[in-house]
Amino acid sequence: MRIRVDQTVCTGHGLCAAMAPTVYTLDDVGFCAVDGSEVAPGSEDTAQRGMLACPEQAIALVDE
């Protein structure tokens, strides 16, 4: 499973990292910085929690 972040939609609320800090990190200005990252085995539920916290729905989890 990979994390996809639509950077044109992300507005830097940082709720993904607040809800799932072991999966999501932010860049220097507060935007989600994990686009394309693979979710570690066992962290799928945590990744989903962070994805669902995004008010802009800028995050998608995709199976590859």
Q: Which CATH number does the domain housing residue 30 bear?
A: 3.30.70.20
The domain total for the chain is: 1
Write out the chain's pLDDT in tens, 64 residues: 999 999 999 999 999 999 999 999 999 999 999 999 999 999 999 999 999 999 999 999 999 7
**In terms of residue numbers, what domain contains 37?**
2-62
Cα 45-10-55 angle, rounded to 5 deg: 60
Question: Which pLDDT belongs to residue 27?
Answer: 97
The secondary structure of 14-56 as a DSSP string is -HHHHH-TTT--B-TTS-B--TTPBPPTT-HHHHHHHHHH-TT
Question: Which pLDDT belongs to residue 64?
Answer: 79
